[in-house]
Structure 1
Amino acid sequence: MTTSIDASVAAAVQTAIAAYAQALDAGRADEIAALYTPDGVAEIVGMARFEGREAIRQGFGGFAPQTPQLHLIANTVVTSATEDEATATSNLAFFARGKAGWTVQTVGRYDDVLRRHDGAWLFQHRVTTFAE
């Protein structure tokens, strides 16, 4: 683990992770796909794997929320970084709002590889693992 991560890289990683959660909760599949490199991979362990922006757009379009939802991302650690690539791990809690209010549906983690692409930090590979 690198002990000295450039603050601007860490901030860019945090921004990409937050933008993903916001777009996911709003059902904006185009925005989710745009957060990936053109050859990016979105993997949801045991459920789906989407390769490339168009597959990501279509795949996440099928996950559009039917009721209000919220992904809370916490404890993000940038585990390594260069000026063009970073890895990070985050915890997640997924909430849905029903008649009784907000309830936790599941928890898990994200394992990310992000790359600088055309000046922006984008996901190259995101693995979502839900706790059983």
Structure 2
Amino acid sequence: MSTSTDASTDASVAAAVQSAVAAYAHALDANRIDDLVELFHPDGVAEIAGVGTFEGHDAIRQGYAAFAPTRPQLHLVGNTVVTSATEDEATAVSNLAFFQRGDSGWAVQLVGRYDDTLRRKDGEWRFQRRVTTFLP
């Protein structure tokens, strides 16, 4: 991490980023769209490769509602690295694997990464921009 003021700030920011990343995956998999939307700032942006760019809560809600899960699914997100941080803004990158349960069990459907910018406002860390890309 760069630009932080001290180790305790680094640890606090890293924990907040990890929490937001995990909350997003859980909300997405459980189709809790309102919870997912609340993880973004009101003017936040969700950009999903091959799907679209959604700006603001209403657009994010509509965008995610369009691909509600039809089968049990699981986003496993890991290797999250906070690439820069201050007390009020952080950038991070994470790897993801998306699993879906079918007739023969769980199977990987795709892999990709998240590139995130989060900002803190009123003590809450939320996504300002989340870019999802998929790996071939």
Shorter-chain TM band? over 0.9
Shift in Å, 1:29: 0.9
User: Does the aligned pair in 2 maintain the 1:29–1:58 contact within 8 Å?
Assistant: no
Paired residue for 1:75?
A: 79
Can you list the C-alpha shifts for 1:41-80, whole angstroms capped at 9, x where unaligned? 0000121110001110111111110100000001000000
1:91 matched to 2:117? The reply is: no
> 2: distance between equivalents of 1:48 and 1:28?
20
> 2: distance between equivalents of 1:53 and 1:62?
14
Q: How does 1:43-62 map to 2 (within 5 A)?
A: 43-62=47-66
SS in 2 for 1:43: strand
Among 123, 129, 132, which residue is 2:127 paired with? 123
- Moved segments of 4+, more than 6 Å: none
Shift in Å, 1:119: 1.4
Unpaired segments ≥5 residues, structure 2 = none
SS in 2 for 1:6: helix
Unpaired segments ≥5 residues, structure 1 = none
Paired residue for 1:106?
A: 110
Q: How many residues align?
A: 132
SS in 2 for 1:125: strand
> 1: distance between equivalents of 2:99 and 2:92?
22
Paired residue for 1:41?
A: 45
User: Does the aligned pair in 2 maintain the 1:38–1:52 contact within 8 Å?
Assistant: yes
- What TM-score results when the alignment is normalised by the length of structure 2? 0.93
Can you list the C-alpha shifts for 1:92-126, whole angstroms capped at 9, x where unaligned? 00000000000000000000000002210000000
Paired residue for 1:2?
A: 2
Among 26, 31, 36, which residue is 1:32 paired with? 36
Question: Superposition RMSD on alpha carbons, in Å?
Answer: 1.3
